[in-house]
Structure 1
Amino acid sequence: MAIDTLEPVITPDLVWKQVRHRARVTLLVPFAIVAYLVYTWFAFGVPDLLMRAQPERAVILATDTVAYKVHVTRSFRTNEFEVATEGERTATYDNSDVPDWVRLDGDNAMIDLGDGYSVEIVGKTALFTIPGYGVIEGTATANGVETVLPESDAPDWVKVDPRKLDVRPTLDRRLQVTKTKIEVHNYFGGWENFWFPFRSPLWGMSFSELYALALSSDRMDPDYSNLWFIVHEFLENPDWQHGTVFVALFETIMMAVLGTLTAAIFGLPLAFLAARNFTPSKILRFGTRRLFDFLRGIDMLIWSLIFIRAFGLGPLTGALAIAFTDTGSLGKLFSEALENIDNKQVEGVRATGASQIQRYRFGVIPQILPVFVSQVLYYLESNTRSATVIGALGAGGIGLLLVETMKTSRDWENTSYIIILTIVVVILMDQTSGWLRRKLIEGK
């Protein structure tokens, strides 16, 4: 005798309850999200962070990454003018060969800052002409600075102090007066002395002039050909250290490659021990899987700190940190791929009388090769970025140079240069890995 299945009876009360339940959920979920965001806003101290923020300093630092300044300084200790790029002694102009916007005349000077802005220095007095505002006068005295403004109230870009006058009407123009000196800053777009040092005979040459020089038989240095002399001057630029940066980039790439390949080489055989269909022993499988959890459970940065203490500074410590962490990650991924293979292909190879190694070679490896290649290449891309962070801790490479440039708080253009090069390397690694993936997996 057949028993009829009982079906729930849909009543208006049941429909109404469902509608009310969905309405409560619809209201509670956004409310919970908003409550969480409000909690994190105060728990993470965002209001205090905003109060301590210095947006004007951030703007100055951002300007420094894309521009450089030329200092025109009148020192009252030496009673001399000095015109220098970024205020560096190694980039100081001869007084007979200063830029055309600076005119020196004994103790006086006229500095044209463009767009109607100009600074006239007469003895110990600086007269800053500002279009639409007037002339600000600052005079250095034995006790500080005397300031005369066109108006009684000083605008925000004028900092008047008995010890110092600081006028910055625009981001690219600045005047500072103290009792010891008058200093004018004029900003220009670009990176100063990027190609060659200020004192190099190649400084200021155009690309066409450099090309003609490289083909010329008249050597600038008897010990080098002109082409090698150009390359040498570029790589040994003391301000930008191109040669050192390129070597550090190469170390970072090698750190990532060595660490990733080592992890793949050790992770694949260990994956067979962790796969259920290849290792009958539960104890062996359990121990191998816990090993993977241990290796990837400790962050790469922690491994790096451990190896730095154990082996000292150097790229090897970074490669070991990458290898240990990725052995756990890749081993887990490979073991899961092994457990999902098609056993029919393995049985077909077995039917031909193949040995166990041959069954692995022709029945298993071809099935996991796409996963193997794609995961290894992905981790290689990721580890190129990770190697930069590890290098900042002391493992060397480009990360260490990046931290050194940031410590000075004045060479932000060098910091931008290193960051751009790192991004370019990551993009190249991504393109290369994509090409290899197509070659090895798709056969294109």
Structure 2
Amino acid sequence: MAVDTLNEPVFDRSTVFQNVRRRAWVTVGFPVAILMYLAYTWFAFGVPDLLAKARPERAAILATDSVAYKVHVTKLLRRDLMEVSVEGERRATYETDDLPDWVQVDGTDAQVDLGQGYTVSITGKVMEFDVPDYGLIKVTATDTGVRTQLPPGPVPDWLTDNPKRFDARPTLDRRVQVTRTKIEVHNFFGGWENFWFPFQSELHGMPFSQLWALALSGERIDPLQSNMSLILHEFLDNPDWQHGEVFMALFETIMMAVLGTLTAAFFGLPLAFLAARNFTPSRFLRFGTRRLFDFLRGIDMLIWSLIFIRAFGLGPLTGALAIAFTDTGSLGKLFSEALENIDNRQVEGVRATGANQIQRYRFGVIPQILPVFVSQVLYYLESNTRSATVIGALGAGGIGLMLVETMKTSRDWENTSYIIILTIVVVILMDQASGWLRRRLIEGK
């Protein structure tokens, strides 16, 4: 039987081989190119030097300080005075007859039990630190510095010994320091100290049940105000945590984001009609409006904030203006694209009823772009709540400024954690609220 070979496909082996080789080069070359790029950035950005300078032990100390507090047992050698205080604060100093049970003070000497076998003895100008599995460390403060006697063997890395200063931290929650002017012992405890009420407040240390009973009691602690008012006043005016000022700063941040976003939406929507091809026949007007959007959103929000700070000074208004200018360009572009994608048949249907221009926009255009308008405005509102925090750190006020102030001291990291947690909570609440509004306005639920 004859075989018809006219309709059979003819394979070019050289073409097939070239295609296979090209795909092989792409399969191998693309990952190799990525690896080469990553290797280049690794050295171009100085990552090895950065890792060499990294101090993970410092990060661990700061992380510990953000979730714990320390009680200082301090002997001031020049005044021959022993003090026990929370975080070394004068206004949080324990009275002699109300010391913690792990501190025993005898005149100007003290015995400190740090737990798990760690003990410190302070006698005169001599400090003895007993460390399990290492031995007894004896440090004497002199007129020129310190003199140290260590157990035999290598010096551990948790100990710093020089003629001017002795510093030992065998664990994260225990530390001893000696200089020629003072001997100091730090004992760490989990939690945030004096979070609810100041140390000297008569409400300090009260359990919640007792506070609740006190709030409902008719017998007033302060004759000039109710117990509930006293509790609220002591909480908000806490000098260590400044709850009242923090809440006011959070309110400023939220108002900054809301005012900036609504202003951007108010100006962005009318300008979007000028930038839409199917609403503005003038090519020159469309081009100018679109370039205006590019200009507004092309300059970062932080740059706008710096410009307005120079122009109007510090304050929430500068942050709101920065958000408004940037988002006017972004929202205007999004709205103009939504307008260009509307269904003209709905507009023509409204026109057929004899509606005027405004009515055609109201009933033929706005219902079509309303889902985009609402969803985008609410999304930008959520995002701007976070952005307002960063802008506030530059001087616009709000919670961002307070966050930077707590970080500058390098000792109030628990306050920093508190502000960060509150900011996250506000962002979560804004997300939930915007989701609820989106469902009500768009889906009708």
Q: TM-score range by the shorter chain?
A: over 0.9
SS class of match (1:409)? coil
- 2:72 corresponds in structure 1 to 71
What is the correspondence of 1:39-78 to structure 2 with a 5 Å cutoff?
Answer: 39-78=40-79
- 1:441 corresponds in structure 2 to 442
- 2:209 corresponds in structure 1 to 208
Q: Which of 104-113 and 321-330 deviates more? A: 104-113
Deviations 1:44-73 (A, max 9, x none): 111121122111111111111000100001
CA separation in 1, counterparts of 2:9 and 2:430? 60
- 1:420 corresponds in structure 2 to 421
Deviations 1:64-88 (A, max 9, x none): 1000100001111111100010001
Cα distance, 1:13 vs. partner? 1.7
Deviations 1:276-325 (A, max 9, x none): 11111111111111111111011111111111111111101110110011
Report whether the alignment pairs 1:171 with 2:181.
no
SS class of match (2:354)? coil
CA separation in 1, counterparts of 2:264 and 2:10? 60
- 1:405 corresponds in structure 2 to 406
SS class of match (2:423)? helix
Cα distance, 1:108 vs. partner? 2.1
Percent identity, please.
77
SS class of match (1:223)? coil
CA separation in 2, counterparts of 1:241 and 1:10? 81
Q: Which amino acid aligns with 2:275?
A: A
CA separation in 2, counterparts of 1:398 and 1:180? 39
Q: Which amino acid aligns with 1:118?
A: T
Q: Which amino acid aligns with 2:385?
A: T
Cα distance, 1:143 vs. partner? 2.8
- 2:20 corresponds in structure 1 to 19
SS class of match (1:341)? coil
SS class of match (1:73)? strand
- 2:126 corresponds in structure 1 to 125
CA separation in 1, counterparts of 2:234 and 2:170? 38
Cα distance, 1:10 vs. partner? 3.3
Report whether the alignment pairs 1:185 with 2:186.
yes
Report whether the alignment pairs 1:353 with 2:359.
no
Q: Which of 172-181 and 230-239 deviates more? A: 172-181
Cα distance, 1:8 vs. partner? 8.9
Deviations 1:23-44 (A, max 9, x none): 1111111111111111111111
- 1:107 corresponds in structure 2 to 108
CA separation in 2, counterparts of 1:145 and 1:131? 23
Cα distance, 1:340 vs. partner? 0.4
What is the correspondence of 1:281-360 to structure 2 with a 5 Å cutoff?
Answer: 281-360=282-361
- 1:254 corresponds in structure 2 to 255
- 2:162 corresponds in structure 1 to 161
CA separation in 2, counterparts of 1:396 and 1:144? 45
Q: Which amino acid aligns with 2:441?
A: L
Cα distance, 1:144 vs. partner? 2.1
Q: Which amino acid aligns with 1:45?
A: G
Cα distance, 1:222 vs. partner? 1.5
Q: Which amino acid aligns with 1:84?
A: S
Cα distance, 1:152 vs. partner? 3.0
Q: Which amino acid aligns with 1:146?
A: R
Cα distance, 1:112 vs. partner? 0.7
- 2:4 corresponds in structure 1 to none
CA separation in 2, counterparts of 1:238 and 1:108? 31
Q: Which of 172-181 and 326-335 deviates more? A: 172-181
Cα distance, 1:9 vs. partner? 4.8
- 2:278 corresponds in structure 1 to 277
- 2:3 corresponds in structure 1 to none
CA separation in 1, counterparts of 2:65 and 2:116? 21
- 2:99 corresponds in structure 1 to 98
TM-score (norm: length of structure 2): 0.97
Q: Which amino acid aligns with 1:10?
A: F
SS class of match (1:121)? strand
CA separation in 1, counterparts of 2:192 and 2:98? 21
- 1:3 corresponds in structure 2 to none
- Structure 2: any 5+ residue segments left out of the alignment? 1-6
Q: Which of 138-147 and 189-198 deviates more? A: 138-147
Deviations 1:156-203 (A, max 9, x none): 111111222211110000111122211100000011111111111111
CA separation in 2, counterparts of 1:179 and 1:265? 66
SS class of match (1:96)? helix
- 1:31 corresponds in structure 2 to 32
- 1:152 corresponds in structure 2 to 153
Q: Which amino acid aligns with 2:389?
A: T
Report whether the alignment pairs 1:116 with 2:111.
no
CA separation in 2, counterparts of 1:201 and 1:219? 13
- 2:381 corresponds in structure 1 to 380
CA separation in 2, counterparts of 1:128 and 1:117? 7
CA separation in 2, counterparts of 1:132 and 1:324? 64
Cα distance, 1:434 vs. partner? 0.4
CA separation in 2, counterparts of 1:110 and 1:13? 90
CA separation in 1, counterparts of 2:108 and 2:91? 23
Cα distance, 1:346 vs. partner? 0.6
- Structure 1: any 5+ residue segments left out of the alignment? 1-5
Q: Which amino acid aligns with 1:382?
A: S
